[in-house]
Amino acid sequence: MTGCAIEIVEKRFPAVAGAPARTVLGEIVLDLPADQFVAVTGPSGCGKTTLLNIVAGLDLDWRGRLELPRRPDGSVSLAYMFQTPRLLPWRTVAENLALVRPRGIADPAGWIRRRLAAVGLDEGVAAVYPGRLSQGMSRRVALARALAVEPDLLLMDEPFASLDGAAAGQLRALVARLWRERPMTVVLVTHDLREALGLADRIVLLGGAPARVLADRANPLPFNRRCDDDAVEPALRALAGRFARELNEPQTGGHHEDHDQDGGHLEGGRCGDFRSAAGADGHGGVGGGRPCHPRQAAARTDIRHQER
């Protein structure tokens, strides 16, 4: 399996209805090795979704080059979990999943059952319409639909953002486990640095106008400490401080090189051992969706509203 190479020169939205044209993305060069889990973060409106849309092939109007992971037969398998689940409301859960069912499956109902089970849903959910599902269940169905194509590249746009802490923590843990069981390249857009530290091998900060890569860091936490609050808290403070400085620094024209991916922290297995926010102590760890020092950490580590 090959990795993914993104080389954006420029993404410009044309003037529409009185709004002037705007260059949203400047030079963005990212090499994503096969099976790497990358978190992309940055202030709201900086162009993260635009970047995912480009990688997904939904936006073809940009300058640059894109190389997607290819299988030996040259095919590409990519899935995109949008910011909202985007299930078709007039179709049941089973009918939504059936849209992505591979041809020639001998036991379609069994296939649906297995897809649901993989994301922790029982088969009773199959006959339900999306409008009757909780937010967390809708997300799980969206995840099941994304994984049904057995992607080599999974794009996720703030997939946990609208969930309460418990549901978000459970879903993060699920994503971590599924990735460990079946590795794939993941690009997760998130504004939550705690989430990024809990899940990703590598954390990329976008910012500026037009946006470019302001920082590109290996997760400083070895895999087995990503659930350990004693390790997470200082790493989180350091990362948040550093990213805040990057965002507030006057931007120079060139590409700010901050690659430290050879720093030795990318080895060592994968995390899947999140504590659930619904667990015994009611607190989330890294993946629990709830900081240990909620006010303090939430203010520092959510970079949505950092200045651009």
Q: Which residues bind ligand ADP (CB under 6 A)?
A: 13, 24, 42, 44-50
- Minimum CB separation of residue 24 from ligand ADP in Å reads 4
Name the binder of 129 from ligand ADP, Mg ion, none, CB < 5-8 A by kind: none
- Minimum CB separation of residue 173 from Mg ion in Å reads 23
49 binds Mg ion (CB under 5 A): yes
Q: Which residues contact 251 (CB under 8 A, 6 or more apart)?
A: 207, 208, 214
CA-CA distance, 52 to 161, in Å (whole number)?
16
CB nearer to ligand ADP: give 47 or 208.
47
Sheet holding 185-189, edge to edge: 78-81, 153-157, 185-189, 37-41, 202-207, 212-218
- Minimum CB separation of residue 59 from ligand ADP in Å reads 8
CA-CA distance, 27 to 153, in Å (whole number)?
22
- Minimum CB separation of residue 17 from ligand ADP in Å reads 10
- CA 301 → CA 21, 29, 154, 278, distances in Å? 32, 25, 24, 22
Name the binder of 47 from ligand ADP, Mg ion, none, CB < 5-8 A by kind: ligand ADP
CB nearer to ligand ADP: give 116 or 240.
240
- Minimum CB separation of residue 243 from Mg ion in Å reads 17
53 binds Mg ion (CB under 5 A): no
CB nearer to Mg ion: give 51 or 116.
51
- Minimum CB separation of residue 41 from ligand ADP in Å reads 9
Q: 219 with 203: CB under 8 angstroms? A: yes
CA-CA distance, 254 to 176, in Å (whole number)?
35
CA-CA distance, 80 to 228, in Å (whole number)?
30
Piece in contact with Mg ion (CB under 5 A), picked from 47-55, 112-120, 144-152, 287-295: 47-55
Q: Tell me the residue type at 294.
A: P
Name the binder of 290 from ligand ADP, Mg ion, none, CB < 5-8 A by kind: none
Q: 119 with 170: CB under 8 angstroms? A: no
Residue 157: CA atoms inside 13 Å, Cβ hemisphere, count?
20
Name the binder of 163 from Mg ion, ligand ADP, none, CB < 5-8 A by kind: none
Which chain residues interact with Mg ion by CB under 5 A? 48-49
